Amino acid sequence: MKIVVIGTSGSGKTTMAKALAGALALPFVELDAVQWQPNWQPLMETDRDEFIRRVAAATAGEAWVVDGNYTSAVRHLTWGRATHLVWLDYERPVIMWRVIRRSLWRAAMRTELWAGNREQWRKLWRADHPIRWAWSNWRRHRIDYAERLGQPEYAHLTVLRVRRPREAEAVVRRLIDAARPTP
């Protein structure tokens, strides 16, 4: 089983993907961990070919769970190789509550994210901060994902669109059940 979990910043992609990877005993690939280098250097911008190479290597196996979007560069690898796609498509108030709560917690606790990076209070209102990014891109992502998932090259995917947080647990159970061998 090869699963991609997508959604706007703050939707719970990492939480969902980790739960699936753990329950199914599959490798977990967090695209943010591939992307963000020390001092918040974005690998996709500093060395796009290396970013694509790393994602290609991580998704070359027989089974995995990938969390993240970065679709412009690696959609052909993640969506193209996946068997299942979980789309966390929550309403904007849910997303905003989650991303604000998460960002404030990370900044207050000085939580290390990727490659030693931490959220900083002084960067909370920058256009590229997850809070503003989620607000600005929620509608665009929703339209883009719906259009792209209707394209023939993704017809092979089993798409599980989760509209409410309370549906997420059922999706995890469904995928666990689908992975069990039939007697």
pLDDT at 86: 97
pLDDT at 95: 96
- The DSSP result for 109-143, as a single string, is HT-B-STT-B--GGGTTSTTSHHHHHHHHHHHHHH
Residue 36 has a CB neighbour count (10 Å cut-off) of 19
Dist. CA 11–CA 33, nearest whole Å: 17
pLDDT digits (tens, 9 = 90+) for 26-64: 999 999 999 999 999 999 999 999 999 999 999 999 999
pLDDT digits (tens, 9 = 90+) for 115-168: 888 888 878 778 888 899 999 999 999 999 999 999 999 999 999 999 999 999
Tokens found for residue 64 = 């995995």
Lowest mean per-residue pLDDT among 87-91, 96-100, 122-126: 122-126
pLDDT at 162: 97
Tell me the mean pLDDT in the region 174-178.
91
Domains and CATH numbers, the chain: 2-92+141-176 (3.40.50.300)
- Is the per-residue pLDDT at 23 higher than 90? yes
pLDDT at 126: 84
Q: What are phi and psi of 65, to 5 degrees?
A: -130, 125
Name the residue with higher pLDDT: 159 or 70: 159
Q: pTM above 0.95?
A: no
Tokens found for residue 6 = 């997508």
pLDDT band at residue 69 using 50, 70 and 90 as cut-offs: confident
Dist. CA 152–CA 147, nearest whole Å: 11
Length of the chain: 183
pLDDT at 76: 92
**Closest of 168, 158, 157, 180 to residue 7, by C-alpha:** 168
pLDDT band at residue 12 using 50, 70 and 90 as cut-offs: very high
pLDDT at 72: 81
